[in-house]
Amino acid sequence: MEKVEQKYTNRSVTHPVTQDPGITDQHGRSFNYLRIAVNEKCNLRCIYCMPEKGISFEPQDKLLTRKEVIRVIQVVAKLGVNKIRFTGGEPLLRKDLVELVSGAAETPGIDSLNLTTNGV
């Protein structure tokens, strides 16, 4: 993660955050949000996230751990991201979702947390 910080953080501590564009794309547009898919599981089989064929899922041990997800949030918060949306599959099926949300809420700079769910 330090390599990510070094590659994308080019900010001097003497510059106010308002002068730093943070994360920008090739067209100079800045981003202040991050969508995090916390799993690939879903308790429904709608075509939105689970077509009948052509989708292979990552093994659970290949997904980011809670500590890794929170670290990513901390890094992007330093780059100007202040909004996080947890998605999935169905994020409510992740056993440590409450801890993930708590970790995000405790991260300085994060002021908006959202969840995309199927409601079941």
pLDDT tops 60 at residue 107:
yes
What residue segments make up the domains of the chain, in order of their start?
Answer: 2-115
The architecture (CATH level 2) of 2-115 comes to 2-Layer Sandwich (3.30)
Query: Do residues 110 and 73 make contact, with C-beta atoms less than 8 angstroms apart?
Result: yes
pTM of the model: 0.76
- What mean pLDDT is reported for the chain? 84
Q: How are the residues of the chain apportioned to helix, strand and coil, as percentages rounded to the nearest 5? A: 30, 15, 55
Region 26-41 average pLDDT: 92
pLDDT tops 70 at residue 30:
yes
The CA-based angle 94-75-67, given to 5 degrees, is 35
Task: Read off the pLDDT of residues 79-105 as tens digits, 9 standing for 90 and up.
Answer: 999 999 999 889 999 999 999 999 999
The pLDDT score that the predictor gives to residue 21 is 67
Q: Look up residue 83 and give its amino acid.
A: K
